[in-house]
Amino acid sequence: MAVPCTKCGAQVADGAQFCAICGTAVSAAPSTSGFAPVNIPSQPAAPPPPPPPAAGTPPMPGYTQVNTGVPPAAYAAPAGYVAPPPAPVSSGGGGSAVKIILIVLAIIIGLGVLGAGAVGFMVWRVAHSFHTHARNGDFSIDTPVGPIGSSRVKNFTPEELGADIYPGAQATQGGMRMNLPNGSIVTGVYETSDSKDQVLAFYKGKFGSDASVFDGANSAMITLKKGERESVMVTIASEHDGKTKVSIVHTTNKGQS
């Protein structure tokens, strides 16, 4: 005789232990034939989880212990376990570097002060070893290596200049004689109404092929070396007023005494 399912209400065939629709276990209906009902046993309950290990208990077989570096509180480290040393803590390293830098700066500044003092002393000694004499625009200086003198002169002889003066040229301001301990420099400045090319051609003829010549658009320079201790340089420049300026520089060197 079919009975209804207690869960979904579907008809369960006589003698079936489970509902064909929902699978619910069906208790046998009271038998009218004098048989006692049969109880179907239920599924066994799941076993309870194992208790957590107590403090100091080694890990269970089959489990892998994870090393986190520091054992948890109340956990006894197994035999052979060595805790890693704590990381070193810096104690004033930056301050030591700053001290070293300050010491180096102090040394550099000290050397600079000493150097400045030495230079100042040398300047003082040199300044007190010079004696200057000036009169009428001329001056002379007495130095430890000998006297140095300068005088403003407009007219020089060809012998003093080491070269001939351009014909018709007039002496102007700028001439000077300077006497040095090992030689002298004589400079004569002249003006002429002739062109720059005319003046250059004149000195080319006087100096000959041994002279060095530079010829530009508005200026020229010709140099003649007379031996090892004497030279003459003539500079020629066209002026805006149509005149030509001629500068003659005669340098002599006495050599080592």
Range of the domain at 166: 145-253
Q: Is residue 215 situated within a structural domain?
A: yes
Q: What is the CATH number of the domain that holds 243?
A: 3.40.1000
**Average pLDDT for residues 160-178, to the nearest whole number?**
90
Specify whether the CB–CB gap between 148 and 141 falls below 8 A: yes
Q: How many CB atoms lie within 10 A of CB 187?
A: 18
The model carries a pTM of 0.45
User: Mean pLDDT for the chain?
Assistant: 75
Assign 31 a pLDDT band (cuts: 50, 70, 90).
very low
Tally of domains in the chain: 1
**Average pLDDT for residues 23-31, to the nearest whole number?**
64
Q: Is residue 182 situated within a structural domain?
A: yes
Q: Is residue 68 situated within a structural domain?
A: no
Each residue of 134-160: pLDDT tens digit?
A: 555 555 565 554 556 555 666 889 999
**Average pLDDT for residues 71-83, to the nearest whole number?**
57
**What pLDDT is recorded for position 223?**
96
* Angstrom distance (rounded) from CA 239 to CA 194: 11
Q: Is residue 231 situated within a structural domain?
A: yes
Q: Is residue 157 situated within a structural domain?
A: yes
Secondary structure tally for the chain: helices H, strands E:
3, 12
Assign 23 a pLDDT band (cuts: 50, 70, 90).
confident
Assign 233 a pLDDT band (cuts: 50, 70, 90).
very high
Q: Is residue 178 situated within a structural domain?
A: yes
Q: Is residue 188 situated within a structural domain?
A: yes
* Angstrom distance (rounded) from CA 184 to CA 50: 117
Specify whether the CB–CB gap between 150 and 176 falls below 8 A: yes
**Average pLDDT for residues 224-228, to the nearest whole number?**
90
Q: Is residue 160 situated within a structural domain?
A: yes
Each residue of 93-138: pLDDT tens digit?
A: 556 777 788 787 778 887 777 777 777 766 656 555 555 555 555 5
Q: How many CB atoms lie within 10 A of CB 155?
A: 10
Assign 200 a pLDDT band (cuts: 50, 70, 90).
very high
What separation in angstroms does the CA of 73 have from each of 42, 76, 77, 83, 190? 44, 8, 10, 14, 108
**Average pLDDT for residues 183-193, to the nearest whole number?**
92
